[in-house]
Amino acid sequence: MATNLNPRTYRIVGTQRQIDERETPHPRADRGELGERIRLGRKNRHSSDALRRTIVANRDIVKERAVNPQRTPVSDPAAMARTIKEAARFFGAAVVGITHLDQAYVYSHRAKDDGNGNKAGDPIKLTHKYAICMGFAGDFERYMACNSMISAAEYEMGHRQEMLGTSLLATFIRELGYPAQTHGHGGYVLNPIPLAVNAGLGELGRHGMLIHEEYGSRLHLSVVTTDLPLAVDEPVDMGVEEVCKVCMKCAQTCPTYSIPFGDKVVVNGVEKWAIDVDSCYKGRITAGGEFMVCLICTTSCCYHKRSSWWHTLAGWMLIRIPIPLRTLYIKPLLFLDDLIWGKKPWLQMQWMGYDNAPSPVTCSIPGCIAKHKPLEQKPLHKVPKKTIK
């Protein structure tokens, strides 16, 4: 036992006994020792307020609560949209936007049972009118430890935070008296990326992910679909179209060569930069010898920066430059980006006993002379000459 503690705010002047938990207020209230009114008040989980019910009453956040039959009337969808966005931020979202639920981005059939009676292979019917799109931001530094236990921990923790916030927002909407469905980690029946673009959270990058002007691509996206009347947002212009045309850092650094250097192509009726999903996924699942998250494209993106005035200023200026002139502004910035952050941004760090220093590759073939390297030390892919503009 420590004997030399000398805190300034309390002083030990005698012998201490350990406190019995039963002496603390909650158990005493439960036993009725603080009076009947307090005992009943302690049991009461009902509230006249939807937010209070969401936070306090709904301890089991994963369970989908029933819709409150007492519907809160909505006379001003714009005001309700502001309330919902503030609630989403309160529940942990870094960014939030609202768009109409475009059925083109709802999956046609389920891949797995959902635990609510819907089986794998069942057609999906999602008729909600609105999609509230949220982005939960990851930590800049831990993402920079990409392809390591540190970045993997950050990435998976982001899923946990996203599940909590998304579930709470859906619960809040149900408590307002409107149906709501969560679409987050482990339970998407839609593609959140195009919906997030439509909701104005950012733009679609060359690497196939959403790029937000402040957080880059270190956002876990989730969606709550609902019929709650809401004002919708518009897509934004952040200059990603011009930046991705000339930057190509993600394409150069992607270990599995999954990000295209070339122009956009038409996929399923949509013209966009299209990544090779299979090689990305296979590399991610097996390249580290176990399930891992690569994140190299996320951290190499020139939008992946700490929140700072110079990063904000660079983006602020970009969208104020006429589109035909933007490349003239972007190229010097990309030169500086390479100079300061490197062609392949990566930070070596120690955290919680982990060290993300690359481990040498062991080869199982006797006498092999190949230059095996860990992903962090792989050379950059060369930009094909015909794509340099």
Partner 1 sequence: MTHVITGACIGAKHKELSCTEICPMNCIHGTASDEIFYIDPEECIDCGACVPACPREAIFPEGKVPEKWQGFVQINADYFKNKK
The only residue of 192, 283, 315, 345 in contact with partner 1, by rule CB under 8 A: 283
Residue 154 corresponds to which tokens in the numbers above? Answer: 């950050």
Is 262 among the residues that bind partner 1 (CB under 8 A)?
Answer: no
Q: Which is nearer to partner 1, 206 or 305 (CB)?
A: 206
DSSP 121: T
Interface with partner 1: number of residues (CB under 8 A): 29
Cβ-in-10-Å burial (0-12, 13-18, 19+) of 286 comes to exposed
Rounded distance, CA 109 to CA 331, Å?
Answer: 44
Q: Residue 185: what are its φ and ψ, rounded to 5°?
A: -50, 125
* CA–CA distance, 114 with 340 (Å, rounded to integer): 47
Q: What are phi and psi of 307, to 5 degrees?
A: -65, 120
Residue span binding partner 1 (CB under 8 A) among the ranges 4-12, 163-171, 176-184, 374-382: 374-382
Residue nearer to partner 1 on the CB measure, 59 or 382? 382
8 A C-beta contact, residue 146 and residue 295? yes
* Nearer to partner 1 among residue 39 and residue 378 (C-beta): 378
Q: What is the DSSP string of 143-158?
A: HHT-SSHHHHHHHHHH
Which residues, 286 to 305, sit near partner 1 by CB under 8 A?
A: 286-287
Compute the chain's Rg from CA coordinates. 25
Taking the complex as a whole, the smallest distance from the CB of residue 108 to partner 1 amounts, in Å, to 27
Residue 189 in contact with residue 144, Cβ under 8 Å? no
| Cβ closest to partner 1, residue 340 vs residue 368 | 368
CA-nearest of 351, 376, 342 to 154 is 351
For 200: left if phi > 0, alpha if psi spans -120 to 50, otherwise beta; the answer is left
Residue 227 as a binder of partner 1 (CB under 8 A): the answer is: no
Instruction: Give the binding range for partner 1 (CB under 8 A) out of 14-22, 67-75, 313-321, 373-381.
Output: 373-381
Q: Which CB, 127 or 377, lies closer to partner 1?
A: 377
Quick one: 1 or 365, whose CB is closer to partner 1? 365
- Binding of partner 1 by 365 (CB under 8 A): yes
Q: Does 375 bind partner 1 (CB under 8 A)?
A: yes
Minimum distance of partner 1 from residue 140's CB (angstroms) = 25
**Cα gap 345→245, rounded to integer Å:** 19
Q: Which stretch binds partner 1 (CB under 8 A): 85-93, 129-137, 331-339, 360-368?
A: 360-368
- Nearer Cβ to partner 1 (202/255): 255
Minimum Å gap between C-beta 279 and partner 1 is 4
Binding site for partner 1 (CB under 8 A): 255-258, 276, 278-279, 282-283, 286-287, 361, 363-373, 375, 378-379, 381-382, 384
